C-alpha cells in the first residue's frame, strides 16, 4: 500500500472525528469497530468511551470482544451520543439498528463506507441502498458510483422517515479512487417525534 495514501486517509479520518467531537459538549463514544485503537489514540483519549470489536481490541478495560450487532442488541446504548462505525464495508444496517434503539436528542455519527469498492465492480448498489431506493438487489445501474452523494441524501431522507432524525450537519470526503467514503453526520430528533 502506498504509505502516503494511507497517511492521508488516517488524517481525513482523524480530522472528521475531531470536528464532530467538537460539536458536542460531553461526548460519550461508542466505537463499534474499534480494532487496534488507531482512532482511539488519535481522538478519544479524553472522552468517555466504549470500544467493541469481534477480533482485535486495544484495551481490555474499555473494550469488549464481541460481534457489534449482537452487542448493540443486548446492551443499553441510549447514553452514547457519539457513534463511530469504521467498518470499511457496509455500516448502514448497524446504524439503523442503533437509531431504532437510541433516544438521544442529538447524536454525532462518523462512519467509513466501503460499499463502493464492490459497487464499482458489480454496478449494483449494495443491499442497503437498493432497499432504500426500492430497487431489486441485483439490478445493475451503470456508473452508479457517480451518484453516490445523491444516494447518501436519499439515505438521510430514509433516516428521517423511519427513525425521526433530521441531519443537521453532513460532511463527506473520500480516498483518491473514490472507493471509500468518510462520512460524518449530526442527527437531531425531530420535534414532536417521527413524521
Ligand atoms: C478498519 S478496522 C477498524 C480500525 C479501528 N477503528 C482503528 O481505529 O484502529 C475494522 C475492524 O472491524 C472489525 N469488525 C468487522 N466486522 C465486525 C463485527 N460484525 N463486529 C465487530 N467487529 C467487527 C474487524 O475485526 C476490524 O478490527
CA of residue 53 to ligand 1 center, whole Å: 5
5: helix, strand or coil: helix
The whole-number pLDDT of residue 194 equals 47
Domain count, the chain: 1
On average, the pLDDT of the chain sits at 90
Assess if residue 38 is contained within a domain.
yes
> Contact at 8 Å (CB) between 127 and 90?
yes
pLDDT at position 195: 42
Answer whether residue 48 is part of any domain.
yes
| pLDDT of 175 higher than 60 | yes
Q: What is the pLDDT of residue 192?
A: 62
> Does 126 sit in the ligand 1 pocket, CB within 6 Å?
no
- Tell how far the Cα of 122 is from the centroid of ligand 1, in angstroms: 24
Domain encompassing residue 168: 3-189
Q: In the structure grid, which three cell numbers stand for residue 184, read together? A: 460524518
Q: Are 180 and 9 in contact (CB under 8 A)?
A: yes
pLDDT of residue 108: 98
Give the tens place of pLDDT for each residue, 5-20.
Answer: 588 899 999 999 999 9
In a domain? residue 27:
yes
Q: Could you tell me if 67 and 54 are in contact, meaning their C-beta atoms sit under 8 angstroms apart?
A: yes
DSSP lists the bridge partners of residue 66 as: none
SS3 7: helix
Structural contact between residues 179 and 149, judged by C-beta atoms closer than 8 angstroms:
no
Residue from 31, 155, 29, 50 nearest 92 by CA: 155
More confident residue, 139 or 40: 40
Nearest one of 116, 43, 24 to 84, comparing CA atoms: 43
Q: Is residue 194 part of a domain?
A: no
Q: Does 195 fall in a domain?
A: no
Residue 53 in any domain: the answer is: yes
Probe ligand 1: pick from 13, 49, 53, max atoms within 8 Å of CB? 53
Amino acid at each position: 500500500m502506498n504509505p502516503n495514501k494511507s497517511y492521508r486517509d488516517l488524517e481525513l479520518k482523524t480530522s472528521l472525528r475531531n470536528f464532530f467531537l467538537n460539536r458536542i459538549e460531553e461526548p460519550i463514544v461508542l466505537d463499534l469497530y474499534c480494532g487496534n485503537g488507531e482512532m482511539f489514540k488519535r481522538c478519544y483519549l479524553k472522552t468517555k468511551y466504549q470500544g467493541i470489536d469481534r477480533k482485535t481490541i486495544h484495551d481490555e478495560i474499555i473494550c469488549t470482544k464481541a460481534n457489534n450487532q449482537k452487542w448493540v442488541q443486548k446492551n443499553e446504548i441510549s447514553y452514547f451520543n457519539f457513534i463511530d462505525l469504521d467498518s470499511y464495508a457496509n455500516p448502514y444496517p448497524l446504524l439503523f439498528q442503533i437509531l431504532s434503539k437510541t433516544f438521544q436528542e442529538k447524536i454525532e455519527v462518523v462512519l467509513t463506507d466501503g460499499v463502493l469498492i464492490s459497487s464499482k465492480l458489480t454496478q449494483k448498489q449494495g443491499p442497503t441502498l437498493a432497499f432504500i431506493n426500492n430497487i431489486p438487489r441485483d439490478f445493475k445501474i451503470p456508473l452508479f458510483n457517480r451518484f453516490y452523494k445523491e444516494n447518501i441524501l436519499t439515505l438521510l431522507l430514509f433516516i428521517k422517515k423511519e427513525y425521526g432524525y433530521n441531519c443537521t450537519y453532513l460532511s463527506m470526503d473520500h480516498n483518491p479512487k473514490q472507493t471509500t467514503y468518510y462520512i460524518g453526520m449530526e442527527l437531531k430528533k425531530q420535534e414532536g417525534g417521527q413524521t
